[in-house]
Amino acid sequence: MTDFDARAVSTIRGLAMDAPHAARSGHQGTAMALAPLAHVLYSRVMSYDAARPDWIDRDRFVLSAGHASILQYSLLHLAGFGLSLDDLKDFRQWDSATPGHPEVGHTAGVEVTTGPLGQGVANMVGMAIAEAQLRSRYGAEIFDHHVFGICGDGDLSEGVSHEAASLAGHLGLGKIVLCYDDNHITIDGETELALTDDAAARFRAYGWHVEELGEVGEDLDALEAGIRRAMDVTDRPSLVIVRTIIGTPAPESSNTADAHGYAIFDEEIAATKTIMGMPADETFHVPDDVLDEYRKLGLRGAEARSAWEGRVAAFSGDRSTLEAQLSGNGLPGWEDALPSFAVGESVATRKASNAALQALVPVVPGLTGGGADLTGNTGTVIKDEGVFSAANPGGRQIYFGVREHAMGSIANGMALHGGAIPVVGTFLVFADYMRAAVRLAALSEARSIFAWTHDSVGVGEDGPTHQPVEQVASLRAIPNLRVLRPADANETVAAWRIAVESGGPTAMILTRQNVPVLEGTSAEGVARGAYVLREADDAAITLVGTGSEVAVCVDAAKALTAAGIAARVVSMPCWELFEAQDADVRAAVIPASTPSLAVEAGVTMGWHRWVDDVVGIDRFGASAPGDTVLEKLGINADNVVARARALIES
């Protein structure tokens, strides 16, 4: 270890104590223990250009143990990513660039939003899939980088990391180098209270290469050598296990559960700084020469980036496809490839979704994905583009297996890597397994497309365990998630156009059963979130439906009209898009002067913000043929007519 190395590590450890102490909140010990490892990655191993943190062929760094965020912020400050010392002093404060856990898009140099443990591990798998697809398609001279990460016992305890690691080993993702901080400490105490796994054996069983480095947490050369051995393994992902001492070298708190959080205060901070040869009475001490040297290290990737730009300029392949993929767009005129369906056809929206996806794949080069062992059922089949595997990393069909949670997190990693627009599918009721990943997609504004099918009690005989009733409402509760429940095949096609054109995540809620292609469905209307499908002069009531229930509203409106009661029908595929419209636009669609009744085969929670009354299902479903369940639970035209009459009379 050189003098610079020693002083840089001490500087990182000083910041790791000072910033949480200033905030009176945070996690000091893990960041202190990992300072040597992180220093090796940022100063010796990773290829990046701090002046261009969005360079797509950079190495990625994912801090899955996101509670140790001050570790990453310290490195981003030293390396010159734009974080100032004042930003570190503002750690965990309102509107600061240094929130409690790393947030992508909020702080330059942060690749993914981590916090819930295990998510970062799965994000790494998604990033490695995206890198492998790009490298296969355009060549290693354009795309060739690693995905590095740091995880802890908590990450490897969460089930999502098991799912993701299993798939990564199966797929032979050799660009993953995951460093495991084996410090034997959790919040409750020693890890042995609840965890005695043999992580090395488990990951070897998953098909990973494992480097067991032992007690080398302070040995920079040994850390670098182990990481580079892992980088040399190209046919499978690598786990690098490092035994560290949490809180080291604090004289009282090191190797204690307290060090996991905020436990090192004034006197012990001063004592620790004295041990490290730093000014004991100075906070946020960053020696000028350490900072100067680190800033040079942060810019050393500029030469590699410049050489890469030259190779891209000389690229003789399909440049329009490359540019479209990197920008996340379709080829010129891609919208013209979208299918259309004739009024009167009967098509399940999951099948219409697959028709749209299949039409878009040739003209939207970033589209890729599949299902969680339900690929055909969910309309996420991608034909003629190959299956992604170790032997065929260019394949765009991905089989995730029964791994819903990891599938969602992997999709987020792919989307945040760039060059990929992932679509992933399973039954709507299993969105509950994915919820943490979906929430992080919304928080991260990741461009993930979630295709959830079998969207109501119309699933039928599988019964209430498989019949979603509360899932759509719970998804609508997530900020920044665009939830689209199209009424028919043509609305489904319009939903796909929105998903491809828009930033952030999209949830598509699709039917198992066939539904009629309705007269008057409108792509422009879908883009507004709600629109008048069937107008009526002097209407006595407005019926508002989503998904398969729009057809029920149309039938009910016809029956009401025949009885002399004029009824309008509104299709409302997306609350979020409708909310974004001007108030006068919303008022024209659902006027307050006319009684309004919503119809949706799910819980009624939330609907009263839009309408006066709701026909819904505020109970679990039942096992019976789908038509029978819908009929018995009141999702039928006769019940809607009766409820409409009662609402008008009231």
Whether cis (ω within 30° of 0) applies to the bond prior to 249 is yes
Task: State the catalytic residues.
Answer: 404
Neighbours of 242 (CB within 10 A): 26
Tokens for 409? 């997190």
Neighbours of 332 (CB within 10 A): 10
Torsion of CA 198, 199, 200, 204, to 10 degrees: 110
Tokens for 171? 């797929």
Provide the 3-class DSSP secondary structure of residue 511: coil
- The span from the CA of 223 to the CA of 41, in Å, is 9
Provide the 3-class DSSP secondary structure of residue 56: coil
Question: In the 3-class helix/strand/coil scheme, how is 320-385 assigned residue by residue?
Answer: HHHHHHHHCCCCCCHHHHCCCCCCCCEEEHHHHHHHHHHHHCCCCCCEEEEECCCCCCCCCCCCCC
CA 71 to chain centre: 23
Dump the DSSP string for 194-248. T----HHHHHHHTT-EEEEEES-TT-HHHHHHHHHHHHH--SS-EEEEEE--TTT
492, 356 in Cβ contact below 8 A?
yes
237, 176 in Cβ contact below 8 A?
yes
Tokens for 237? 């992902």
- The span from the CA of 380 to the CA of 294, in Å, is 46
148, 59 in Cβ contact below 8 A?
yes
Tokens for 419? 């060059």
Nearest one of 147, 78, 86, 140 to 111, comparing CA atoms: 147
Angle at 14 (CA atoms; ends 8, 17), nearest 5 degrees = 145
Burial label for 386, CB within 10 Å (0-12, 13-18, 19+), is middle
Nearest one of 415, 482, 367, 431 to 113, comparing CA atoms: 415
Tokens for 588? 């024209």
Nearest one of 395, 400, 399 to 385, comparing CA atoms: 395
Burial label for 184, CB within 10 Å (0-12, 13-18, 19+), is middle
The partner residues of 214 in beta bridges, in order of sequence, read 242
DSSP, res 432:
G
Taken in order 468, 517, 425, 416, the sign of the CA dihedral is negative
